Amino acid sequence: MRPEAAGREFLPERRFMEEALRLACEAAAAGEIPVGAVVVKDGAVIGRGRNRREAARSVLGHAELEAMEQAAEALGDWRLSGCTLYVTLEPCPMCAGAAVNARVERIVYGAEDEVMGACGTAVSVIRLPRAFRPALYKGLLAEECGALLRRFFAERRK
């Protein structure tokens, strides 16, 4: 992992991605695409989310948006400075854009999204030249996150 600007190294923590993975499993059990997310500040989870597009009948029902909304409520501020977003799947353009606009300091994701990944896999919303640029850490529990998605879609295609 790369060092932060302050000169100390940030090491993503498995326990937070494991919590996001648990939320993704809840989404799958509810018939939703299995994506889970948590927002962490100062070592504590301040926002949790899982996909709810089908249940909410909403285009905005993404795990990352739910987690960031909860975090903003917890902080009493839309700015999520100093926060880390852990998400099981690389954020889409909408969610990556929301993270950039909210000034999320770091994004940690598990599985890459070759179709809609907006952290560099398909496009790079987080590297726009004049926008805030969160630090990026990819591949934490990638196998577990990817396997959950593969199982979900294999079951759906039966």
Residue 137, H or E segment: strand 135-138
CA pair distance 120, 103, nearest whole angstrom: 18
Is residue 37 within 8 Å of 51, Cβ to Cβ? no
Please give the pLDDT value at position 49: 99
pLDDT along the chain (158 residues), means of 10: 48 94 98 98 98 96 99 98 98 98 98 97 94 96 98 92
C-beta separation of 93 from 123 below 8 A: yes
Q: Would you list the domain boundaries of the chain?
A: 14-146
State residue 11's pLDDT score. 85
pLDDT reported for residue 2: 38
Residues 72-91 as b or e (16 or more Cβ within 10 Å = b): bebbeeeebeebbbbbbbbb
3 CB contacts (<8 Å, ≥6 apart)? 9, 10
Q: Please report the pLDDT score of residue 5 as a whole number.
A: 40
Q: Which CATH class is domain 14-146?
A: alpha beta
Catalytic, 73? Answer no
Specify the pTM. Answer: 0.93
pLDDT of residue 8: 56
Q: What is the pLDDT of residue 1?
A: 36
Q: Which amino acid is at 136?
A: L
pLDDT of residue 28: 98
Q: One of 19, 64, 90, 112 is an active-site residue; which one?
A: 64
